């Protein structure tokens, strides 16, 4: 385990600068176009794949960075480029994390490569947890998975919503109820292989922001998948359910479910995304304030504007430090005893919304137009306080943790 330090090593600096170049030269020039088109930017994903950015090997290297900073550095730079395109590039990662968090070594080796494809045949994956009546309230999930012992198959029925890459994915990871009496403890995660009959795309959502990222419903109608597509295997599931039943009878401690294990692992990464968007908006506002002349002097010489920028810079740095701490803790195997993962996601998400709004204010009327990117950045930033656990849910997790 590497020692924690605020100083990046040479490899991390090289990766950061490489990603920054891709974000500046490839993503930013295309950002407005794909935001308007509201379509998956396949050409840019393919370019990322050719360069090795969109690949299992690259994300594995960042995931296993001994300092824990590989993933947040990657997310910050890509989302500095453009949040919508970045989410189209990294959205597969949530499904991959779902397999890494719950799957066996064989399942990881089999399915994660199929989520990415290769530079000549790019694929994406989808993690399907939320439902029309069960977003943050995972205990209300209705999608069922029933085991057909005679055929060693699981049969899935239900509707998932808000699924990034839903319906267009090569591989879908679906969280479903296997034991309704256990509530959220009776959930399990399943791989739905490519071209499985019964899985279809429902409504595609037209969104306020992150428009280059495909978000849709996934409909499951008598979807039959082999028994080995249960992440972790049936023996492990049966043992977990038995423990949950025993603890439920005894009123014992809570048991984490499959979806929560995935979200807990990904929350600092979402915080890093928010930091990237906030930093991008801050830099636009800072440059504008230095060059925009009003009443015979640059706008930044107005104390009201200068103090706003000072607060923005401070809040972005504070958010990054919370993200880095949580990421380091997760890699070091240190438990989030004070909900540090949720803290990082909560604070960074709120900072992104606030900073992008301030950027619009500093640019004035220009900031409200699509001629400048801060308007898009503000729309994009709204998602961070909503997906993978709303800010209210993060506060709930934090308050319950510190209140023990």
Q: Terminus-to-terminus CA distance in the chain, angstroms?
A: 30
As beta bridge partners, residue 188 has 176
Residues present in the chain in total: 404
- Phi then psi for residue 167, to 5 deg, are 90, -30
* 8 A C-beta contact, residue 90 and residue 137: no
Which of the 8 DSSP states describes residue 179?
A: -
Give the helix/strand (H/E) hosting 80: helix 70-81
239 is catalytic: no
Q: Can you tell me the distance from the alpha carbon of 86 to that of 95, in angstroms, rounded to the nearest whole number? A: 16
Which of the 8 DSSP states describes residue 229?
A: G
Handedness of CA 247, 131, 192, 45 (dihedral sign): negative
Instruction: Tell which residue, 361, 266, 264, 280, has the closest CA to residue 316.
Output: 280
Task: Encode 306-337: b = buried (16+ Cβ within 10 Å), e = exposed.
Answer: eebbeebeebbeebbebbbbbbbbbbeeeebe
Distances, alpha carbon 134 to alpha carbons 74, 257, 258, 354, in Å = 31, 14, 15, 28
Paired sense of beta strands 121-122 and 293-294, if any: unpaired
Instruction: Tell which residue, 66, 125, 120, has the closest CA to residue 94.
Output: 125
Q: Is 301 exposed, middle or buried (0-12, 13-18, 19+ CB in 10 A)?
A: middle
| Residue-wise DSSP of 253-304 | -----HHHHHHHHHHHHHHHHHHHHHHHHHHHHHHHHHH-EETTEEGGGSHH
Residue 142 structure tokens = 């209705």
Instruction: Tell which residue, 227, 253, 214, has the closest CA to residue 152.
Output: 227
**Active-site entry in 10, 283, 388, 392:** 388
Residues annotated as catalytic (active site), given as ranges: 388
């Amino acid at each position: 385990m590497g020692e924690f330090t605020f100083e990046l090593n040479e490899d991390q600096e090289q990766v950061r600068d490489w990603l920054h170049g891709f974000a500046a030269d490839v993503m930013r020039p295309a950002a407005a176009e794909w935001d308007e088109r509201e379509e998956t930017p396949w050409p840019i994903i393919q370019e990322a794949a050719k360069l090795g950015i969109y690949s299992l090997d690259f994300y594995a290297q960042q995931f296993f960075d001994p300092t824990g900073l590989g993933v947040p550095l990657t997310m910050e730079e890509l989302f500095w480029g453009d949040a919508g395109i970045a989410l189209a590039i990294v959205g597969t990662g949530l499904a991959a994390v779902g397999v890494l968090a719950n799957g066996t070594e064989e399942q990881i080796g089999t399915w994660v490569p199929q989520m990415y494809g290769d530079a000549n045949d790019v694929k994406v994956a989808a993690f399907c947890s939320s439902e029309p009546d069960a977003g943050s309230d995972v205990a209300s999930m209705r999608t069922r998975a029933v085991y057909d012992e005679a055929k060693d198959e699981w049969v899935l029925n239900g509707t998932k919503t808000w699924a990034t890459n839903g319906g267009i994915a090569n591989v879908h990871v679906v969280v479903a109820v296997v034991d309704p009496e256990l509530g959220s403890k009776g959930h399990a995660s399943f791989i739905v292989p490519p071209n499985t009959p019964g899985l279809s795309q429902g409504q595609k959502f037209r969104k306020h922001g992150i428009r280059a990222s495909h978000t849709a419903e996934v409909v499951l109608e008598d979807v039959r998948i082999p028994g080995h597509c249960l992440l972790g295997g049936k023996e492990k599931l049966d043992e977990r359910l038995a423990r949950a039943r025993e603890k439920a009878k005894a009123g014992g401690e809570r048991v984490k479910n499959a979806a929560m294990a995935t979200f807990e692992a990904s929350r600092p990464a979402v915080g890093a995304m928010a930091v990237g968007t906030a930093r991008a908006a801050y830099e636009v506002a800072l440059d504008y304030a230095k060059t925009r002349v009003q009443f015979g002097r640059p706008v930044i010489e107005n104390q009201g504007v200068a103090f706003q920028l000072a607060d923005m810079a401070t809040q972005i740095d504070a958010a990054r430090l919370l993200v880095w701490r949580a990421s380091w803790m997760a890699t070091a195997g240190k438990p989030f005893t004070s909900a540090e993962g949720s803290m990082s996601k909560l604070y960074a998400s709120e900072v992104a919304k606030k900073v992008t709004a301030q950027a619009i204010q500093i640019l004035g009327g220009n900031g409200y137009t699509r001629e400048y990117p801060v308007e898009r950045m503000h729309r994009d930033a709204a998602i961070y306080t909503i997906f993978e656990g709303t800010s209210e849910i993060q506060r709930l997790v934090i308050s319950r943790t510190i209140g023990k």
